[in-house]
Structure 1
Amino acid sequence: MSTATARPHAAVWIEIPADDLDRAARFYGTILATELRREQIGESELAILPYGEAGSGGAIVKTPDMAPAANGTIVFLNCDQGLDRVLARVETAGGRIEGEVVTLPGAMGRYARIRDCEGNRVGLHERG
């Protein structure tokens, strides 16, 4: 495959667990300055994160077989609308910023890690 050929996204869907879906949906809606669409799929309640046709998608999920976690995989959310603006809303929404904003080399952008209102560790990324 040549480097000019478009590759599919490696990640196609993410799920961030929540014990209190209303609280978590308000948190992510506040920091991302958007409204999350609510869905019910089987036993799972979801608050859908914004996504485009070409990108991957995901949701905040309340389901019997998942629990919030501070350790493990870190999901990075797109903050191209302005990382600093998103970070400014984190603590007001009930989360916590962990560490400093990191500037990546070249045109890779910047990122920060937060702890959400449910106790999950989540990354926020702004492209360069």
Structure 2
Amino acid sequence: MVAWFEVPVIKMERAKMFYETILDISILINEFGGFKMGWFPNNKKPGEATGSLVQHEHYVPSLTDGPLVYFSCEDVSNVLNKVEAAGGEVLQPKTEIGDGHGFMGLLKDTEGNRIALHSNA
């Protein structure tokens, strides 16, 4: 049901480098209408959402407020192992969800957002 998500950032280049480093992706930066956006890759597969980093005066990063975005990955541990070197903080290590739902972990990004990870392994 999720079609699009936006992650607030204070410094686009810092956030771009962080997410590119931990997720092994490339983020394309675009500016329009006073918004600076860093678009995550879009595989255009049905049922897969994509989104953007957003730098704008009305977008405020938060560790506690607002929705929690989960990024899919092959192994939560592999991503969490890159977080501190990239300038973030691990908030919760890889944790089994139970009932065959895989694993999750939490991190604080360079902008102060709480972000979650999910993997089946």
Displacement after TM superposition at 1:42 (Å): 1.3
Larger radius of gyration: 1
**Residues 104 and 22 of structure 1: is their aligned pair in 2 closer, same or farther, counting only changes over 3 Å?**
same
What CA distance in whole angstroms lies between the structure 1 residues aligned with 2:85 and 2:114? 17
Contact 2:77 2:93 in 1 (8 A): no
**Could you tell me which of 73, 78, 91 is aligned with 2:72?**
78
The secondary structure found in structure 1 opposite 2:77 is helix
Report the equivalent of 1:103: 96
| Counterpart check, 1:13 vs 2:7 | no
Displacement after TM superposition at 1:19 (Å): 0.5
| Counterpart check, 1:115 vs 2:108 | yes
Gaps of 5+ in 1: 1-9
Gaps of 5+ in 2: none
Identity %: 27
> What is the TM-score of this pair, normalised by structure 2?
0.91
The one-character-per-residue Cα deviations of 1:66-92 (angstroms, maximum 9, x if unpaired) are 111111221111112x22211111000
**Residues 109 and 51 of structure 1: is their aligned pair in 2 closer, same or farther, counting only changes over 3 Å?**
farther
Q: RMSD of aligned C-alpha atoms?
A: 1.2
Report the equivalent of 2:81: 88
Aligned residues, how many?
118
Runs of 4+ with deviation above 6 angstroms? none
> What is the TM-score of this pair, normalised by structure 1?
0.86
| Counterpart check, 1:62 vs 2:55 | yes
